[in-house]
Every structure is written in structure tokens, then in C-alpha cells.
Structure 1
Amino acid sequence: MKLRVTNHPILGNPEKKKAVTFTFNDKQYTGYEDESLAAALLANEIRTLRHHEESGSPRGIYCNIGHCFECRVSINGKQGVRACLTPLKENMIVESHGKLPTPVRDWRSSDE
């Protein structure tokens, strides 16, 4: 966990928290129990959490407060979970989302 604040005036010292392991896209990482999954991913230098459903462009953490839905991942098989609002637990299995196999139909299209 390379990118960590080691002494925060309000949050304290994260090294005093319990370290847990989790997987992201089949690779194992370490974070601190009950920190947000987004924070654990950022600390492990993971920036791309999914890809846009239609264009395939990379998406990551944007607002980090639960408003934008850019950090959606699958956790233990449940799709569409926001990483910024999800507390990290031991042995979580996290997977990114990719481009959909068929482009999303443009709702403005008039041909039906």
C-alpha cells in the first residue's frame, strides 16, 4: 500500500487498523478493514475501476462521495456497487465492468 497518508490530524494513523486482503480483477491486494473500497484501490495505485458501457473509455473515482456512480464495480457477484461508499471487508472479490458487447441504443434514435 504505497499511497497512504500515514498521520492524519482527524483520521489518525491508519496503520493501527486491521489489514485485510481483497481481490480486484483476480489480483490480490491489501487494505484496511472498513475503509472505503475506493480508498483501498487508490492506495494500491488502481485508477481505472471500470470502462464506459458504450464507448469503452476508462472510468475511475470522480466525486468520492456517492453522487456520480463513476466508481461502480461488482463485489462478490453483485453488480453496480459504488466503491466510494462500500466498506472494505476481508476476502472481498471485486471486479471491474467493461464495455457492453452490444452498444447501448441511443434513446434519441427514432427508428424502432
Structure 2
Amino acid sequence: MSQRILIHPILGNLDHREVVTFSFDGQTLTGYKGESLSAALLANGIRTLRVHEETASPRGIYCNIGHCFECRVTIDGLDGVRACLTPLVDGMNITSGIQLETAVRDWRKNNGK
């Protein structure tokens, strides 16, 4: 069930745009071509986009303007892409849920700290 706003009091009818398909963690979803990936994921009920590097706690959309980096996902094999700044295109393959590498954690692990 879509959680997308289709009729907005100011923007009007929003369901006339081109629908595209994409995958998120192996699940086929739909969204509007050109909308942010984060908007498409939220409309499909996806809230957790990755896990925290140190604690593995779930992370999702926070600022939604590209400032905080909480919405990083892997798109077509490219790690660390911000979903809030990425326009949706047909056929995107998005994965998440992995602990992304961090220089601090990996330095500590490799240097016995």
C-alpha cells in the first residue's frame, strides 16, 4: 500500500508523472521518475535505509536535504550514495542494511585500539 500523497492542497494532482520500477534489497517497487530516491522509498513504506557504522542501529531519513548523510545506500554497486539527493531512474538496484566502512573504526581495528 502506497503512503504517497497524490493530491496536495498546494501542488495539486501529483499522480500524472511517469512511473518507474526499481529494486530495494531485492524487492521490486515503483516510484516517479526524477523524484528523490528517499521520497520513493518513504512512499513505499521503507524507513530503514542502512545501519549505523559502530552500533548497527537502524538509520533512515533524517534531514532529507543532503546535509546529514544518514540516508546513504548502495545504488548499482556504488556505496555511500545519499538517497535524498539522488533522482530515481528506471531499473535502479538499491541495497542497504550493511555497515558501511568508516576510517576511524577500521583504523582502530587494524591498530589494536
The TM tier, using the shorter chain, reads 0.7 to 0.9
1:28-67 deviation digits (Å, cap 9, x = unpaired) = 0000000000000000000000001121000000000110
- For normalisation by structure 2, the TM-score amounts to 0.85
**Stretches of 4+ moved more than 3 A in 1?**
9-12
Q: Unaligned stretches of 5+ in structure 1? A: none
Normalising by the residue count of structure 1, what TM-score does the alignment of the two structures yield? 0.86
Task: Give the whole-Å Cα distance in 2 for the aligned partners of 1:88 and 1:13.
Answer: 20
Aligned residue in 2 for 1:59: 59
The within-5 A match list for 1:11-50 is 11-50=11-50
| Identity of matched residues, % | 58
* CA shift for structure 1 position 13: 2.2
> What does 1:62-81 align with in structure 2 at a 5 Å threshold?
62-81=62-81
Instruction: Work out whether residues 14 and 32 of structure 1, in 8 Å CA contact, stay in contact via their aligned partners in 2.
Output: no
Which one has a larger percent helix, Structure 1 or Structure 2? 2
RMSD in angstroms over aligned alpha carbons?
Answer: 2.4
Gaps of 5+ in 2: none
CA shift at 1:4, angstroms?
1.2
CA distance in 1, matches of 2:77, 2:100: 17
CA distance in 1, matches of 2:51, 2:3: 23
